[in-house]
């Protein structure tokens, strides 16, 4: 499975990247929801754990539509993470 990740504002600054293509090999634990993607990234530790922590105020989008952690994802989808208030 391939998921396109996007990071904005302070999340981007903490992670040091604006985007990434996440590729899961066959046999890897499947990602079914946006929350699963978030948890996988948190498990990387360090700045990933801090920037995407469950208690942290964070907005998420799936294919450019605001969503919650239970939103189902599919092959080639885009998942974005950003703080609740961003500048224009």
Query: How confident is the prediction for the chain on average, in pLDDT?
Result: 93
- Tell me: the pLDDT tens digits for 58-68? 999 999 999 99
pLDDT confidence of residue 53: 96
pLDDT confidence of residue 46: 97
Instruction: Enter the tokens of residue 11.
Output: 């999340």
Angle at 45 between CA 88 and CA 66, to 5 degrees: 35
Span 20-34, average pLDDT: 88
> Is residue 25 scored above 70 in pLDDT?
yes
**Backbone conformation region of residue 69, classed left if phi is above 0, alpha if psi is from -120 to 50, else beta:** alpha
């Amino acid at each position: 499975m391939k998921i396109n990740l996007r990071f904005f504002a302070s999340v981007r600054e903490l992670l040091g990247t604006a985007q990434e293509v996440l590729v899961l090999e066959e046999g890897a634990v499947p990602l079914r929801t946006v929350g699963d993607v978030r948890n996988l990234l948190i498990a990387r530790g360090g700045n990933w754990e801090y920037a995407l922590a469950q208690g942290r105020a964070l907005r998420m989008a799936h294919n450019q539509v605001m969503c919650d952690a239970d939103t189902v994802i599919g092959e080639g989808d885009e998942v974005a993470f950003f703080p609740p208030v961003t500048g224009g």
